[in-house]
Structure 1
Amino acid sequence: MPGELLIPSAPMEVDLSATTAATTTTTTTTVAKSLSKTAGPSLSQNAIDLYLISDEDAYYEQEILRDPYSSIKPWLRYIEHKVQTGSIQEQVFVFERACKALPRSYKIWKMYLDLRVKHVSPLNPSKYHEEYNKVNDCFERSLILLNKMPRIWLDYLSFLLKQCLVTKTRRAFDRALRALPLSQHSRIWQLYLPFANSASGETAVRIWRRYMQVHPEDAEEFIELLVSQDKYEEAAEKWIEILDNPRFKSKEGKSHFQMWSELCDLLVTHAREIKSIDVEKIVRSGISKFSDQRGKLWTSLGTYWITKGDFERARDAFEEGITTVMTVRDFTQIFDSYTEFEESVISSLMEAAAARQEKGKADEEADFDLDIRMMRFEQLMDRRPFLVNDVLLRQNPNNVIEWEKRVGLWGDNKQEVVQTYTDAVAAVNPKKAVGQFHSLWAGYAKFYEKHGDIRQARMIMEKAVRVPFKSVQELAEMWIEWAELELRNDNFDEAVKIMAKATQAPKRSTVDYFDETLTPQQRVHKSWKLWSFYVDLVESVSTLEETRAVYERIFELRIATPQTVVNYANLLEENKYFEESFKIYERGLDLFSYPVAFELWNLYLTKAVNRQIDIERLRDLFEQAVEGCPPKFAKTLYLMYGNLEEERGLARHAMRIYERATRAVSDEDRFEMFEFYITKSASNFGLTSTRPIYERAIEALPDKEAKEMCLKFAEMERRLGEIDRARAIYAHASQFSDPRISPAFWEKWEKFEIQHGNEDTFKEMLRIKRSVQAQYNTDVNFIASQALARGQAKEASSEEQEKKDAMDALEREAMTPQGFVAASTGSIPGNVAGTPAEPAAAAANPDAIDLDMED
């Protein structure tokens, strides 16, 4: 065999591994000495070969000798045989010969290397570093021809990572990367990066820099490493690089702004270490890009300059921030940082001044600086309401409410108030104004009026009425404010002229008040609010004729409201033009329909009746009023009409009107109207005259109300002594009185029969009651009433029900006349002997009474 097979070293090395794995007490040194004694100093290579080859190996040796360099199968069979029967020395001996014969066989080398690694892995790499070096040499020999095999490299690198050989391991990783194709590098980097992180220091940084060239997507981990190694400037540059790359996506799921925030935090926290980066330019670019995070970014910029020690530039950054942000949240964030910074500076200066006082030293310049800073801080706090107002106005310059608040903040500062009003009317877009834009113009004019400059106030009003407000109502309010300005200064004629100018319009105006395509100035002459103020003004300061002319103009423009009609009529009535006022009501009735017309008729008829005009004319007016009147409003008009006839006409005419009313009113009012009609008829013509009214009411009203009317009718007949008529009415009403739903009706009839009837009539009443109950039991509509009865029964508690039944029994017993007793317990008038009646069998109907009659 060739001399390169390491005859002495390989068996000793393997025997050491074997004895270790078998946990024997023999050490590597002992095995080596034993082998040396056996072999002797003159041991030759052939003798050692014979020592490792047994008789059982002859077959495999012969098979190998036939073709030792071309076929792998004999070697694999030989190796398998040795693995099963041979010692570790013998296995290594065969593996060494196989690797020498077939140096390019990946399979043999992989098996050999796994064997060597397995048997040294339990050993401590520091104590047995020579044994590990022998395995390293095996790996190096295998990589001479198998350097393109990634598995060999991975096993070798994993084996090296167990040893404390940083430089050798790093160089092995570098060789692997150079030897393997780029597609296999990811497998190497999976081991290389953890090694770099564990090595740390400059080694880790340089390894990661190489890794970044092929895997820039892992830049966040690289940045963390740089920060941990205090390389803040390089970390910031790496952040800038990935932020400038629009295709970069964070593996940790960070948004673009989150990465910006981390960059800003890094720049601010380590401002003194980072010198070659223009931090202010970076932060300002973030401010322009992230409009919703400007507060945080401006605060970061100010904090950066504070960290650098440049307080003036920090103050400039805070000032620029609070005067440019668009939200109150951002403003509050910057302002709080600003005030905290100023307080910290003042606090440090005060501490220094106190220390100087203790030492008895004086520094006028330092004291002056402290006073300046105190004054600046007070001014900053005083500016806060104005700065907040500025933020809200930058958000929406059309916010009228905030402009008015700004005016209030200036107080008595006339120059600033005027400037604020000027800026406001110039900045606000009338069509987009939030709030009442006209109130801003009015306040502007009132300010000059308050300071006695009426001329300037009028000029402002002239400009205001030309503003294209977003609604006609605002323009009308502006004209009214102008007129009130003149009224406050006792210029009544001027106020009237202003309103006349405001309401100026063509004689026949076809303009639609709600046409948004026209400007408010073109539609303002149809504003009822404007005309209402105008007519009130003219009525107060001008003559009646001028006032009537204004009212007539309102009617011509067809913008009159019911209130206008009433006001015009009242004006004429106050000036004794009664007939003219009636005509105004009639004109108003032509303009408006119900329900507005009802109110006008109510006023018109009341005033006409009170005026005591001709009865025939009044009748015509009432007939016009009730003609076409909805049933909902008919009751009041008919009552007024009937009352008129009762007072100034004939009673029978009033009765006809009430009779018409019972047909014209709504269903809700019909019962009440019939009651009123009956009352009036009884008072005027006696009770007997009400019979036909009762009869028609019973026919016209629904069942529930008809039942009530029947009870009233029967009571009336009873009072007249017409008992039979009353009984007939009760019988008629019984058809819509279910005994289970309307027990009160039957109780009243029963009391009536007890007082005025006899046995036959009482029996007839009971018969009718049973028949009615049977009718309802078979009627489909009875289901609803039965369900209602059950609900009422459940609501009452058992104790209350017992008390009620007991009270009903006592009342019935007290009201029952002599001779009327229960058939099952007492006697009846027909039983002369007075013998007790036979007990009655249980009837199917519990309400039935079985009377023991003589044949």
Structure 2
Amino acid sequence: MDASWEVIVEDVLRETDVAYEQELQVNPYSVRLWFAYVKAKAEAPLRVRYLIYERAVKELPGSYKLWQAYLELRLKSVRDDHDAVTGPEYEAANNAFERSLVFLHKMPRIWLTYIEFLMKQKKITRARRALDEALRSLPITQHSRVWELYVKFIKEGEVPKETALCAFRRYLMLEPDHVEIYIAYLRTIGRYDEAAQKLSMVVDDEDFSSMEGKTRHQLWMDLCDLVSKHPAEIKSLNIESIIRSGIRQFTDEVGRLWISLGDHFIRLGQFEKARDVYEEAMATVSTVHDFSLIFDAYAKFLESLISAHMEREEATAGSAAEADLLMARLEDLLGRRPELVSSVKLRQNPHNVHEWLQRAKLYKDMPEKVIRCFTEAVMTVDPIKAEGRLWTLWAAFAKFYESHDDLENARVIFSKATQVNYRGVDDLASVWCEWIEMELRHKEFDEALKALL
């Protein structure tokens, strides 16, 4: 203090208001008087005002108002000077903050202002220590304000990862519901394994309430996306079982989840396994939308494999043969699409007569498959639940044999058709009419009479 006085003695003597000095000698503990003195010196140089504030806080070290005004003046001066953050003004301001906190360590506003000031200066270690000291000094009811700034401090990306992780884990002890912030941070720094573990714990906790307003379904989808995109980094979880569990639970996202599972194996380089997953998916989904998603993903996967083989510089005989095999698989997939779509529709509603008839038309050049299709159809469709006119299915089955001049089998089919418990008598009558008309077309009048009798 004496050294400072000697440096600015001339300014002080020139600016000093004798009345204020005399009053302060009588009453040095009046906050109002100190503020009046500072206001009177508003046009004085900064160092004069600093000295007055220093004298004031020395007399009244526990005055929040005096320290707050002094610190604001310090902050304003460094903002106006535009000096480098390593300049002496910044260090003087830091020193003032630390001296104020000796007496006002229960005041969160001063702690937060000081920490933000240190963050601006990029003093990482000093800011971290100030944050820790604030948490130790303030009551736990004020910790949420400090942690909000702590999380911002961590997210700025200049804090060492291990330090940030330790801080976040401490934060979760106070605010376990804020785990989503931690998960997001883990993903940004590439700690996918721990992020997946935390997210798995969240989706398993039925009482968890998302701070971001996400439903359990959305959290599941986030987990599936995370594990499928980073299979190499995630070692502590069984990724396949997680995604399959999601497939069983969330029927409205089945297509997307199957694609995630296939993508998981593709990223691991297990292409045959990925192909098996796509085939299994197409054989189990029950909506055309999901099927379309999976089919397109499967086709793009095969196309990318073919392109990769074609672009190889060393076009060896083995790689050429493999490319031909992949081309054949792609052509086979594209050729099977109508049949696969039909299977999906029938899984959705196995009692759809029209769809069974359409499926039979797909096999028009393969008699054995047509017979197998019609047989499966008449065994599957329940007369009570049938959607469409069931008798047309039996009639089409018989006409198939008729078209191949196999009237004996056609009669067997018609005979069985007459024994079905249709929902209406008209359907049964239509079967009899079709049978008789077939016999008449082939001039089998005796057989027609037998059918009538």
Quickly name the TM-score band, shorter chain normalised.
0.7 to 0.9
Secondary structure in 2 matching 1:466:
coil
Of 304, 310, 327, which aligns to 2:270?
310
Structure 2: any 5+ residue segments left out of the alignment? none
Q: Against the structure 1 CA distance between its residues 116 and 326, is the aligned structure 2 distance closer, same or farther, given a 3 Å change threshold? A: same
Structure 2 residue 206 is matched with structure 1 residue 248: no
8 Å Cα contact 1:242-1:248 kept in structure 2: no
Query: 1:275-296: per-residue Cα shift (whole Å, max 9, x none)?
Result: 3332222222222233233222
Q: 1:162 to 1:439 in 2, by over 3 A?
A: closer
Inter-partner Cα distance in structure 1 for 2:301 and 2:354: 33
Conserved? CA contact 2:20–2:37, under 8 Å: no
Structure 2 CA distance for partners of 1:143 and 1:422, relative to 1, 3 Å: same
- Matched with 2:102 is 144
Alpha-carbon distance between aligned partners in 2 of 1:133 and 1:316, rounded to the nearest angstrom: 66
Matches within 5 A, 1:653-692: none
CA distance in 2, matches of 1:56, 1:459: 123
Match of residue 397, structure 1, among 347, 350, 356 = 350
Counterpart in the other structure of 1:295: 255
Kindly report which structure 2 residues correspond to 1:608-619, keeping only aligned pairs within 5 A, or say none: none
Q: 2:2 corresponds to which residue? A: 7
Deviation of 1:320 (Å): 0.7
| 1:331 maps to 2:326 | no
Q: Equivalents in 1 of 2:310, 2:293: separation in Å? A: 26
Q: 1:392 to 1:59 in 2, by over 3 A?
A: closer
Task: Provide the rounded CA distance (Å) in 2 between the counterparts of 1:105 and 1:161.
Answer: 26
Q: One-letter code of the match for 1:249? A: S
Partners of 1:408 and 1:78 in 2: CA distance: 101
Does the CA contact (< 8 Å) of 2:287 and 2:344 recur in 1?
yes
Identify if the C-alpha distance between structure 1 residues 446 and 159 changes in structure 2 by more than 3 Å, giving closer, same or farther. Answer: closer
Q: Residue in 2 aligned with 1:180?
A: 138
Please give the residue correspondences for 1:95-174 in structure 2 after superposition, counting only pairs within 5 Å: 95-96=53-54, 98-124=56-82, 126=84, 129-174=87-132
**Cα deviation, residue 265, structure 1:** 4.0
Whole-Å Cα distance in 2 between the matches of residues 378 and 249 of structure 1? 46
User: In the superposition, relative to structure 1, how do residues 448 and 147 fare at CA in structure 2: closer, same or farther (>3 Å)?
Assistant: same
Note the alpha carbon deviations across 1:439-495, whole angstroms, 9 max, x for none. Answer: 111222333445555444433333222212122211111122233344345443443
Q: 1:56 to 1:216 in 2, by over 3 A?
A: closer
Amino acid at match of 1:7: D
Superposed CA RMSD in Å reads 3.4
Q: Secondary structure at the match of 1:326?
A: coil
Report the counterpart of residue 717 of structure 1 in structure 2. Answer: none
In the alignment, is the contact (CA less than 8 A) between 1:295 and 1:330 conserved in 2? yes
How far apart in 2 are the matches of 1:409 and 1:85? 98
Q: Which residue of 2 aligns with 1:57?
A: 21
Matching residue of 1:442: 395
The Cα shift of 1:244 comes to 3.6
**2:194 pairs with 197, 211, 234, which one?**
234
- Other structure's SS at 2:187 match: helix
Q: Is 1:432 the equivalent of 2:385?
A: yes
* Offset of residue 143 of structure 1: 2.2
Indicate whether 1:459 and 2:412 are aligned. yes
C-alpha deviations, 1:149-173, integer Å up to 9, x for none?
2122123223323323111011101
1:385 corresponds to: 338
Q: What are the within-5 Å matches in structure 2 for residues 732-747 of structure 1?
A: none
Q: 1:265, 1:300 within 8 Å by CA — same for their partners in 2? A: yes
Partners of 2:373 and 2:62 lie apart in 1 by 92
Instruction: Show the counterpart of 1:80.
Output: 35
Q: Deviations over 1:192-211 (max 9, x none)?
A: 33332224451555444444
Seen in structure 2, the aligned counterparts of structure 1 residues 85 and 105 have a Cα distance that, compared at 3 Å, is: closer
Distance 1:124 1:167, change over 3 A: farther
**Kept in 2: contact 1:232–1:270 (CA 8 A):** yes
Show CA shifts across 1:15-46 (max 9, x none): xxxxxxxxxxxxxxxxx3x75xx8xxxxxxxx
Report SS of the residue matched to 2:305. helix
Equivalent position SS for 2:387: coil
TM-score, length basis structure 1: 0.47
CA contact 1:75–1:98 (8 Å) conserved in 2: no
Listed one character per residue, the Cα deviations across residues 104-137 of structure 1 (whole Å, up to 9, x for unaligned) are: 3434433443444444443456466444333333
Secondary structure (helix, strand or coil) at the match of 1:430 reads: coil
**Secondary structure, in 3 states, of the residue corresponding to 1:431?**
coil
Q: Describe the shift of the 1:335–1:56 C-alpha distance in structure 2 as closer, same or farther (beyond 3 A).
A: closer
Summarize the alignment of residues 401-800 of structure 1 with structure 2, pairs less than 5 Å apart: 401-451=354-404, 453-488=406-441, 490-500=443-453
Paired residues of 2:38 and 2:52 also in contact (CA < 8 A): no
Give 1:316 shift. Answer: 0.4
The alignment's TM-score, normalised by the length of structure 2, stands at 0.84
Give the gaps of 5 or more residues in structure 1.
Answer: 1-5, 13-31, 39-47, 65-73, 357-361, 501-855
The answer as to whether partners of 1:438 and 1:478 remain within 8 angstroms in 2 is yes
1:427 to partner: Cα distance: 1.0
TM-aligned CA distance change 1:152 to 1:250, over 3 Å: closer
Count of matched residue positions in the alignment of Structure 1 and Structure 2 = 445
3-state DSSP of counterpart to 1:148:
coil
- SS for the counterpart of 1:144 is helix
Q: Residue 288 of structure 2 contacts residue 344 of structure 2 at CA under 8 Å; is this kept in 1?
A: yes
Paired AA for residue 61 in structure 1: Q
Give the fraction of aligned pairs with identical amino acids, expressed as a percent.
Answer: 42
User: CA 1:250 to 1:463, structure 2 compared with 1: closer, same or farther past 3 Å?
Assistant: farther
Q: Amino acid of the residue matched to residue 83 of structure 1? A: V
On the 8 A contact 1:243/1:260 being kept in 2, the answer is yes
